[in-house]
Amino acid sequence: MDHYGPFVLSAFAITVVVLGGYAAYLRSRLSGLRRQEQAHSARNVATAVPIPTTAQTANSPSGSTRS
Amino acid sequence: MITTRSLGWLSAVLLAVVAIGTLYVFSVDALPGPLRLFVAQRDRFQGDARRIVFFHVPMAWVAFLAFFVVLVASIAYLRTRNDRWDRLGRASAEVGVVFTTLVLITGSIWGYPVWGTWWSWDPKLTTTLILWFIYLGYLMVRSYAEPPRGPRYAAILGIVGFVDVPIVYQASVWWRTLHPEPVIGPEASSQSTDIVALLLLSLVAFTLLFVFLVRVRMQIEELASRPTTAFAAT
């Protein structure tokens, strides 16, 4: 390269750093939101109240009295 | 259908080829004939400074494309009030601002050795700086104004702001300016084959990168708008 080489290399380096940095920022934000959504759905599954089945209702003391 | 991940890899590989061709790592004579088209030769007047053009011009093209997408998304949002158009407009504006920032920086670095100054209040440069401020304003409106007013005001700004894009493109044709004439589009000046081939390859690579970045940004917007993640995203 001639004496303008440092200008070319610095322009190129700035482009790579800015675009690479922006892509890394988007990637970390996307993975953070995905993690958060997975954690939220896992928490919902863990705390969900089980729905009693017909058989459980019939056997329980307060269940159906039909014989 | 092409996935976001494969689009990212494809654009990265093409950008690497453009980088090699631009920075002229190999001797041109050592390359097979067709590949020589994608290697930038040293310019007689500008020397190696001309190599900056091979990523400065495609990034300017991508910025124009991004703001055109904002225009289309803004019109569609005002007609339908569908949030998906608003998310597309916001994603495209953000990517467009990143590319316009790089256009201003790389243009300035090219200007110093060729013009002898980092910045000149030349019509092309000034209108590009105005373009950058317009879409920075768009992003600020979109961030700080609450829905439904925020998306509506931003959409109006996205439509009005696009008026500056053809002015930037035509600035070097309409006014006396230091900036060279356009090298892409209807007003393009004639160029030698090696410039056109490498520029077109670079254009494809940066356009694919733009599509990739907008798709990732759209996914973020969609995830952030869901009730499970909306609180943390704000």
Q: What is the per-residue DSSP string for B64-107?
A: HHHHHHHHHHHHHHHHH--HHHHHHHHHHHHHHHHHHHHHHHHH
DSSP for residue B52 = G
* Predicted-complex ipTM score: 0.83
- Quote the mean pLDDT of chain B: 85
How do residues B51-93 score in pLDDT, each as one tens digit? 888 889 999 999 999 999 999 999 999 999 999 999 999 999 9
For residue A43, the distance in angstroms to the closest alpha carbon of chain B comes to 11
Which chain B positions have a beta carbon within 8 Å of A26's beta carbon? 213, 216-217, 220
Highest mean pLDDT among B71-80, B196-205, B218-227: B71-80
* Selection from B43-47, B193-197, B207-211 with the highest mean pLDDT: B207-211
Q: How high is the pLDDT of residue A17?
A: 94
Between CA B198 and CA B195 the distance in angstroms is 6
Please state the rounded mean pLDDT for residues B168-193.
Answer: 74
Check pLDDT > 50 for residue B9.
Answer: yes
Pick the closest to residue B9 from B37, B17, B35 (CA basis).
Answer: B17
The span from the CA of B137 to the CA of B154, in Å, is 9
**Interface check B56 vs A, CB under 8 A:** yes
- Residue B208 pLDDT more than 80? yes
Please tell me whether residue B207 adopts helix, strand or coil conformation: helix
Exposure string over A20-36, b if 16+ CB within 10 A, otherwise e: eebbeebeebbeebeeb
Q: List CB contacts (< 8 A) between A36 and chain B.
A: 228-229, 232
CA distance B36 to B197: 10
Tell me: pLDDT of A67 over 50: no
Tokens of B34: 């067709």
Size of interface A-B (CB pairs under 8 A): 85
**Could you tell me which residue, B33 or B102, shows the higher pLDDT?**
B102
Q: How many residues would you count in chain A?
A: 67
Query: What pLDDT score was predicted for residue A53?
Result: 61
> Pick from B231, B182, B152: which is nearest to B58 by CA?
B182
Query: Across chain A, what does the average pLDDT equal?
Result: 77
pLDDT tens sequence across B104-153: 999 999 999 888 899 989 899 999 999 999 999 999 999 888 878 889 99
Mean pLDDT of B7-29: 76
Which one, of B57, B61, B84, lies nearest residue B73 by Cα? B84
Q: What is the pLDDT of residue B139?
A: 95
- Of A63 and B38, the one with more pLDDT: B38
Give the amino acid at B16: A
pLDDT at B234 over 50: no
Band of the pLDDT at B178, cuts 50, 70, 90? confident
- B220: chain A residues, CB-CB within 8 Å: 26, 29-30, 33
Q: Exposed, middle or buried, B225 (CB in 10 Å: 0-12/13-18/19+)?
A: middle
The verdict on a CB contact (< 8 Å) between B106 and A2 is: no
**Chain A residues in contact with B51 (beta carbon < 8 A):** 8
Average confidence (pLDDT) over B13-32? 71
Measured CA to CA, the distance from residue B175 to residue B189 in angstroms comes to: 16
B232 and A36: CB-CB below 8 Å?
yes
Per-residue pLDDT band for A32 (boundaries 50, 70, 90) equals: very high
- Which residues of A lie closer than 8 Å to B, measured between beta carbons? 1-5, 7-12, 14-15, 18-19, 22-23, 26-27, 29-30, 33-34, 36-37, 40-41
